[in-house]
């Protein structure tokens, strides 16, 4: 490790940047004062730019990884480049070690991996395995006897195969493949660690399927017949009724109670941010809150909420029946969030 030689004045600037980054984290992650966080970064960008020019003149110009430069979209010797906390963090890394931001060797290009799901006890009695090859532009997914080039999210083929095999999976699954592809390139991750990360994803997908609501009202989802108890003109007693929907957030480490009001055209969602209106699937109201708190949820959540809304009307369900169905659905979502991959390669993603 070779630290960059700094003058006393430059060391003071470096310390001020480090303190400012800590202040940013406090404002952004803890107090959630995003305006203050942006002001902190903007002020630090000017200090970092001035230090960059001084070091460049002294023959120690800060270096950054290829991905950082691509993402910033401007040269490193500009103020705008440093107007992002990650650029500031990488500057601090460079000052501590001139080689900290060197690009590693991509070690898994053209390597073949597998995403192997265990039996689900329902649709498939044996393992289901999907073969993937990591290419320069993304993943190639094996469909039949041939590999088909896909993007970094393994789209569209992987999702098509999972849908074809009637596999439930987390919404936004492609984002996890995209993150893994970039981690493999930017960190020079060896083959066995990439495969281990894919194994984590496979276990997660299997867990999503193992915990699909199947009892009570959910026995009928996707088919089946229930005796319709309504009569012409019968009252829909759940219309305008409010229900609880308790979810877990790994980001905050606790459960939160959302309130869903069954309105004439969909679900009205009440949470900390106030009331927002959604359709029968809960879009966009529920999902804006889930994404804000980085909560993972099953891909079919919206489909199931819409089915429940329609079933409540069609079968004149009682409030208790609807609440019980929502409790089972929320328990599934909590499990999906709790079981999301948390290994070293996933640190920093959701």
Mean pLDDT, 10 residues at a time, the chain of 350 residues: 93 97 92 92 97 97 93 96 97 96 94 90 71 98 97 98 94 97 93 97 95 94 53 76 97 94 95 84 94 95 97 95 98 97 90
Integer Cα distance of 214 and 217 in angstroms: 8
**Cβ(228)–Cβ(311) under 8 Å?**
no
The whole-model pTM stands at 0.75
pLDDT at res. 32: 86
pLDDT at res. 224: 45
Q: Which one, of 44, 46, 58, 53, lies nearest residue 6 by Cα?
A: 58
Integer Cα distance of 158 and 174 in angstroms: 9
Q: Rounded to 5 degrees, what are φ and ψ at 280?
A: -65, -25
pLDDT at res. 277: 87
pLDDT at res. 123: 55
Which residues belong to CATH 3.30.2210.10 in the chain? Answer: 112-210, 216-338
pLDDT at res. 268: 95
**DSSP E strand stretches across the chain:** 112-117, 128-134, 139-143, 146-149, 242-249, 254-263, 266-271, 274-277
CATH architecture of the domain formed by 216-338: 2-Layer Sandwich (3.30)
Report the topology of domain 112-210: Integron cassette protein  fold (3.30.2210)
pLDDT at res. 318: 95
Angle at 123 between CA 117 and CA 126, to 5 degrees: 45
Angle at 239 between CA 234 and CA 240, to 5 degrees: 150
**Cβ(94)–Cβ(63) under 8 Å?**
yes
The alpha carbon of residue 23 and the mean position of all alpha carbons in its chain are separated, in whole angstroms, by 25
Q: Secondary structure of the chain: what % helix, strand, coil (to 5)?
A: 45, 15, 40
pLDDT at res. 226: 44
């Amino acid at each position: 490790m070779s630290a960059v030689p700094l003058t006393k004045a430059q060391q003071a600037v470096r310390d001020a940047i480090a303190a400012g980054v800590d202040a940013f984290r406090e404002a952004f992650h803890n107090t959630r004062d995003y305006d203050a966080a942006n002001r902190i970064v903007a002020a630090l960008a000017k200090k970092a730019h001035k230090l960059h020019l001084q070091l460049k003149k002294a023959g120690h110009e800060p270096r950054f990884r290829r991905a950082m430069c691509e993402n910033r979209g401007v040269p490193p010797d500009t103020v705008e480049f440093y107007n992002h906390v990650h650029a500031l963090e990488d500057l601090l890394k460079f000052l501590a070690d001139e080689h900290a931001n060197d690009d590693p060797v991509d070690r898994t290009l053209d390597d073949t991996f597998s995403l192997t799901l265990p039996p689900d006890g329902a649709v498939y009695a044996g393992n289901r395995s999907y073969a993937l090859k990591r290419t320069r532009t993304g993943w190639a997914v094996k469909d039949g006897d041939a590999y088909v080039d896909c993007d970094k999210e393994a789209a569209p083929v992987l999702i098509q195969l999972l849908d074809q095999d009637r596999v439930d999976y987390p919404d936004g699954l492609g984002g996890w493949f995209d993150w893994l592809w970039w981690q493999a390139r930017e960190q020079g991750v060896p083959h066995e660690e990439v495969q281990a990360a894919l194994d984590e994803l496979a276990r997660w997908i299997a867990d999503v399927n193992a915990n699909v609501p199947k009892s009570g009202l959910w026995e009928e989802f996707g088919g089946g017949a229930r005796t319709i108890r309504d009569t012409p003109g019968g009252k829909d007693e759940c219309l305008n009724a409010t229900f609880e929907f308790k979810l877990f957030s790994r980001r905050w480490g606790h459960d939160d109670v959302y309130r869903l009001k069954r309105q004439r055209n969909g679900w009205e969602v009440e949470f900390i941010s106030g009331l927002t209106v959604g359709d029968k699937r809960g879009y966009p109201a529920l999902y804006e809150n889930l994404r804000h708190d980085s909560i993972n949820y099953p891909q079919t959540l919206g489909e199931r909420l819409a089915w429940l809304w329609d079933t409540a009307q069609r079968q004149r369900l009682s409030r208790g029946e609807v609440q019980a169905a929502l409790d089972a659905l929320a328990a599934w979502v909590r499990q999906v969030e709790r079981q999301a991959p948390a290994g070293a390669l996933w640190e920093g993603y959701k």
